[in-house]
Structure 1
Amino acid sequence: MNRSTLALALAGSLTTAMATAAFAGPIPASKMVGNEKCYGVALKGQNDCAAGAGTTCAGTSTMDYQGNSWKAVPAGTCTGMNIDGHKGSLEPIKS
């Protein structure tokens, strides 16, 4: 691989990494106004942020209803949720 090809490949990798970091950052505090963190109700890749090992932030859950990832839901609704037999929790759910 010549120098210009290598430089182009590295530039592309850096651009992708920066775009991913910007996309997967923490959700804005304004989204949490009137909402609460609800663990165990997000579908794969649709969590709002991390709760522990295996997730880093928004969109990183690896399976549906992952107990250590959360979704922002209207305040007061989490514990009443029951999605396909998976109940929402205000605390991380241990598997």
Structure 2
Amino acid sequence: MKNKAMSAAIVAGAVATAVAGLTAPTTANAQAKEKCYGISLKGQNDCKAGPGTTCAGTSTVDYQGNAWTLVPKGTCVSMELPGDRKGSLTELDRDLPEA
């Protein structure tokens, strides 16, 4: 019985180590990115698209000001967009869907 308990503990430890190794690069990768509002095309946002939406892919207007996409850190506000639009690190009041 001791051997089974020891084996289970070893397997659990190995799984925990493997999972931690998989999430570490994701965390580091996320740290090198920032949320950029107002740059997503309709249905292509990473998350958040205002009230009544759930998450990824829920924006209903191109360049929707309250929908964001992850971009490399430091690039958001310099993105080239049609018209006089610019990306923003905070939610925008432009290009919102009609209520």
- Indicate the TM-score class for this superposition, using the shorter chain for normalisation: 0.5 to 0.7
Give, in angstroms, the shift of residue 32 of structure 1: 2.2
Please show how residues 1-95 of structure 1 align to structure 2 within 5 Å. Answer: 32-85=30-83, 86-95=85-94
Counterpart amino acid of 1:39? Y
Aligned length: 68
Tell me, yes or no, if the aligned pair for 2:37 and 2:66 is still in contact at 8 Å.
yes
Give, in angstroms, the shift of residue 81 of structure 1: 1.1
Higher-Rg member (1/2): 2
Which runs of 4 or more aligned residues in structure 1 lie more than 2 Å from their structure 2 counterparts after TM superposition?
A: 28-33
Cα 1:54–1:82 shift into 2, 3 Å: farther
Instruction: Give TM-score scaled by structure 2 length.
Output: 0.61
Percent identity over paired residues: 59
Cα 1:76–1:55 shift into 2, 3 Å: same
Q: Which runs of 5+ in 1 are unaligned?
A: 1-27
Residues 24-46 of structure 1: per-residue CA shift (max 9 Å, x gap) = xxxx7565230000000000000
Cα 1:31–1:43 shift into 2, 3 Å: farther
Cα 1:68–1:45 shift into 2, 3 Å: same
2: CA distance between counterparts of 1:74 and 1:54?
A: 28
